[in-house]
Structure 1
Amino acid sequence: MALMVHIPEYLVDCELTAGEDLAREPAFWLAHLMLTVGDPTEDPERYGVNTSAYEAMVEHLSNPEEPWPVLRVPFEDGHTAYAVYANFDDANNVDFFVRHHEWGRLGYLGQCGADDAGPGLSWTELATLAETAQNCSEGLTDSSQRLLLLLPMLGDAETPPEARHMVAQALTRCGISSEADELATVLVGEQETGSDPSWTVTADSPIAVCSSPHSPRHIPLALGITPRQAQALADALIGRG
């Protein structure tokens, strides 16, 4: 029986189910990345993924008749990042947010699908969240899986050249056996200084904000939490614990 997940601050009229078991399947990773930042009609065999397995995974991840899959990335000081496959009858989105049990609210990173919003993470934040797995009973602990799950939220003019290699390695480790380098280049994109969002810490909050007006992080993440909580989140996002 699937483990149900309760997120008190999330949508009330939905059922959520733990989706971390999906991470064992290469078809999941290809489907996740194609549904969020790639082309869902791409030939999965090109990347070493069985077509029928891929199509079944896309159908599962997009099915409004089933509980919505949620995958979790716990990180420093009790924070958790979430990816939720929000499947309404008339629209499919993947919601990304962070949560702490003390906040009483969610900090939205962004959304992929019918209503795109983002980016939600700088490269430094993404790399930190990928590497800072916590000893807990829930969520993803593998750094490659954590990196790929949150990769759709990346948007940063200062993404380093080595990012493509790191993503390609993660793809290979998660079972994408062909064209990993080429796919990594597509997924990371051309991060040219001046054309992509910048991230800045202002006097208003220790949490970096994004220059893109389309990003939920155009204002401080989890706006309204206490100064102590904001500092703890800022430190956790960049590994300054």
Structure 2
Amino acid sequence: MTLLSERVVQHRDVIGGGVGSGVAGPQLPGHALAGVGQETHQRVEAEMVANPRSRPASSASRLPLPCPNRWSKWQAYRVLIEGYNGGPLVAGEPLAARPGFWSHHLWGPCCRDAGAVPEWFGDDGADVDAMSEVLMDPERWPVFRVPVEGGYEAVVVYRNLVGDCGVDYLFTHPSWSTARQIASWEGDLVGDSLRWHELFRIVDSPSSIAEGIEDPAARLLLLLPLLTEHALPDEATARLTAALIAVGAPQDTAPITAQHLLEHSAGSPWHDPTWGSPLSGGSGPPSPAGSGVLARLGIT
């Protein structure tokens, strides 16, 4: 039984020349952490491969892009994130339903130190190998959009830049002149993180008028790497277990897998960047209301 660490690291070493612990490689415009208030252009829109004009895509008009492995038969179409430069972005949402995806997506950020194996997520080694080739293809950078009520959108980008691979997390809204990149994962999470109530807010408030991932289980697991809060809500274990089962994890082992993921999220205490430092005369953490990433973005 091959550990996920051996499989995923192999693929990341091929693309990124090795993954460091929180050490960012060379940055392209739009890849530097923007935080809240630093700018990359906000509009995320579909651009059909066969048509240079941006327009809404339909299943009938999407043009598949060839890829040399058995999980490649997905209808990929180009995605534009203005100001996010340097890579061929493609819609990756269909990949979330493919075998091997969740093993790959959750291993590094959430369970690399737990001895995880593909079977935790209902996968096998061949699934993970094939999916890793797709997710880490330098010629196509998968983009996963999570539409939120009110026109907001969380966006996850697999940045497959040779020598500087990672996963970038952004938020967009039609009224913003720019998008906000809040974090990146490059061996460790760098940037802002989410609290449980913020994650539940996103998961439970899908938008029916925008393209992207609507399934609650997939929404929760896709953004789980952003979670680093140590305080565990009563419903967290049950919701995470149910989400894992919904995406194919075995029912008998899903509670244990969920516990490993929760232990990771509690591994480092959450820190709101708005808290004042004791060395600078700060007064400590504010009350939960009105704090956190979503509040600072205006998502209430």
Aligned Cα root-mean-square deviation (Å): 2.8
Q: Relative to structure 1, is the Cα distance of residues 101 and 9 closer, same or farther in structure 2, using a 3 angstrom cutoff?
A: farther
Q: Tell me, what secondary structure is at the counterpart of 1:183?
A: helix
Whose helix fraction is larger, Structure 1's or Structure 2's? 1
Select 1:184's aligned residue among 258, 261, 269: 258
1:86-101 matched pairs, under 5 angstroms: 86-101=159-174
Unaligned runs of 5+ in 2: 1-63, 65-75, 276-285
Query: What are the Cα deviations for residues 178-223 of structure 1, in whole angstroms up to 9, with x where unaligned?
Result: 6211111111226669x611559889xx8524xxxxxxx5x974xx
Q: Greater shift after overlay, 48-57 or 30-39?
A: 30-39
Q: Does 1:208 align with 2:291?
A: yes
Q: Tell me, what secondary structure is at the counterpart of 2:154?
A: strand
Select 2:155's aligned residue among 72, 82, 99: 82
Give the aligned partner of residue 69 of structure 1: 142
Supply the distance in 2 between the matched residues of 1:67 and 1:192 (Cα, whole angstroms).
Answer: 33
Supply the distance in 2 between the matched residues of 1:17 and 1:157 (Cα, whole angstroms).
Answer: 34
Supply the distance in 1 between the matched residues of 2:90 and 2:181 (Cα, whole angstroms).
Answer: 20
Q: Tell me, what secondary structure is at the counterpart of 1:168?
A: helix
Supply the distance in 2 between the matched residues of 1:175 and 1:155 (Cα, whole angstroms).
Answer: 24
Give the aligned partner of residue 227 of structure 1: none
Give the aligned partner of residue 215 of structure 2: 142
Give the aligned partner of residue 52 of structure 1: 126
For residue 146 of structure 1, report the CA deviation from its aligned partner: 0.2
Q: Tell me, what secondary structure is at the counterpart of 2:153?
A: strand
Report if aligned partners of 1:130, 1:146 keep a CA contact under 8 Å in 2.
yes
- Where in structure 1 do 4 or more consecutive aligned residues deviate above 3 Å? 190-193, 198-203
Q: Does 1:111 align with 2:184?
A: yes
Q: Does 1:37 align with 2:110?
A: yes
Q: Tell me, what secondary structure is at the counterpart of 1:133?
A: coil
1:156-175 matched pairs, under 5 angstroms: 156-175=229-248
Q: Tell me, what secondary structure is at the counterpart of 1:9?
A: coil
Report if aligned partners of 2:135, 2:158 keep a CA contact under 8 Å in 1.
yes
**TM-score w.r.t. length of structure 2:** 0.63
Which structure has the bigger radius of gyration? 2
Percent identity between matched residues is: 32
* Matched residues, number: 212
Supply the distance in 1 between the matched residues of 2:158 and 2:118 (Cα, whole angstroms).
Answer: 20
Supply the distance in 2 between the matched residues of 1:220 and 1:33 (Cα, whole angstroms).
Answer: 26
Give the aligned partner of residue 133 of structure 1: 206
Q: Tell me, what secondary structure is at the counterpart of 1:22?
A: helix
For residue 109 of structure 1, report the CA deviation from its aligned partner: 2.8
